[in-house]
Amino acid sequence: MTKNQFTIVTLFPNAFNDFMQTSIVKRAISKKQINIDIVDIRTFADNNHQQIDDAPYGGGSGMVLQALPVIKTINSIKTAHPTAQVILLSPQGQQWNHQLAYSYSQKDINYILVCGHYEGIDERIMPYIDAEVSIGDYVLTGGELPAMVIIDSITRLIPGVIVTDSHLNDSFNNSLLDYPTYTRPEVVLGMKVPAILTSGHHEKIAQYRHQQALLNTYKKRKDLLKKYPLSVKDKQIIEEYKLSIKKSRRKEQ
Ligand code: ADE
């Protein structure tokens, strides 16, 4: 039986159809490395019209998702998965990143992901929530896209889901961005693959890739380098790059 369980609590179950039938997530499901269940909050509406939202107390625009249908949904999932951790997707949550994805992938994977919608959810669901997660400082129309982001980023880190070691080179894995990659053909519209990559010299290729990852990070995300333990050689590579930029600027003048 699959151990790694995600249960999504949503008002839009169909939003996950393509996600579950695509690429690595699809393969992980078919190899029983993960299981994804989707539960429609409307199933737990306590009226004939299946209404699960209402106007906010105190006034204001928009509709608020009612607490009880959400609490009932969580409780019913918990009868099958009593140890599941309940994660609320919300722009107010802790910001998701690669380190968090890694730590979530190393625990027992049994998560209930609650997708909010409308203007928000009645605050009285909070005692049923273990963690609140945001995927960035912007407001989306609902938690469905964030739930997919979280499941995708955790799943690819589960041992055996993608080719061993391939995620060790991931951008952010060691606070460096990725090095540039190339595939056939060797020349595209006059642009050649760096010669070192076709040399077959594995040690030199590894050095080159590290150097490129370092410079990529320096050019695009200097802030990440503050967390990275630069070696003497690394510092030299960056200094040489800065010098080459200065020289090329002087030539242009
Ligand atoms: N719901 C709406 N916006 C969100 C965000 N940025 N992260 C997580 N859940 C959300």
Per the omega criterion (within 30 degrees of 0), is the bond before 185 cis? yes
Q: How confident is the model at residue 233 (pLDDT cuts 50, 70, 90)?
A: very high
Q: Is residue 245 part of a domain?
A: yes
pLDDT of residue 163: 82
Cβ–ligand 1 distance for 88 under 6 Å, the answer: no
pLDDT digits (tens, 9 = 90+) for 15-50: 999 999 999 999 999 999 999 999 999 999 988 889
Cβ–ligand 1 distance for 138 under 6 Å, the answer: yes
The 3 state secondary structure assigned to the chain is CCCCEEEEEECCHHHHHHHHCCHHHHHHHHCCCCEEEEEEHHHHCCCCCCCCEECCCCCCCCCEECHHHHHHHHHHHHHHCCCCEEEEEEEEEEECCHHHHHHHHHCCCEEEEEECECCCECHHHHHHCCEEEECCCCCCCECHHHHHHHHHHHHCCCCCCCCCCHHHHCCCCCCCCCCCCCCCCCEECCEECCHHHHCCCHHHHHHHHHHHHHHHHHHHCHHHHCCCCCCHHHHHHHHHHHHHHHHHHHHHC
pLDDT digits (tens, 9 = 90+) for 84-130: 999 999 999 999 999 999 999 998 899 999 999 878 999 999 999 99
pLDDT of residue 166: 67
1 Cα: distance to centroid of ligand 1 (angstroms)? 32
Domain range for 138 is 4-164
Task: Clarify whether residues 136 and 234 are in a common domain.
Answer: no
- Residue 104 near residue 131, CB atoms below 8 Å: no
pLDDT of residue 253: 81
Cβ–ligand 1 distance for 144 under 6 Å, the answer: no
From 87, 92, 135, give the residue whose CB has the most ligand 1 atoms within 8 Å, as the site to mutate. 135
What gap in Å lies between CA 98 and CA 120, rounded to an integer? 26
Task: Clarify whether residues 110 and 19 are in a common domain.
Answer: yes
Task: Clarify whether residues 134 and 46 are in a common domain.
Answer: yes
Cβ–ligand 1 distance for 90 under 6 Å, the answer: yes
139 Cα: distance to centroid of ligand 1 (angstroms)? 6
Task: Clarify whether residues 65 and 18 are in a common domain.
Answer: yes
Task: Clarify whether residues 231 and 106 are in a common domain.
Answer: no
Q: Does the pLDDT of residue 1 top 70, yes or no? A: no
Cβ–ligand 1 distance for 87 under 6 Å, the answer: no
pLDDT of residue 115: 98
Q: How confident is the model at residue 207 (pLDDT cuts 50, 70, 90)?
A: very high
Query: What is the mean predicted confidence (pLDDT) over 137-151?
Result: 97
26 Cα: distance to centroid of ligand 1 (angstroms)? 24
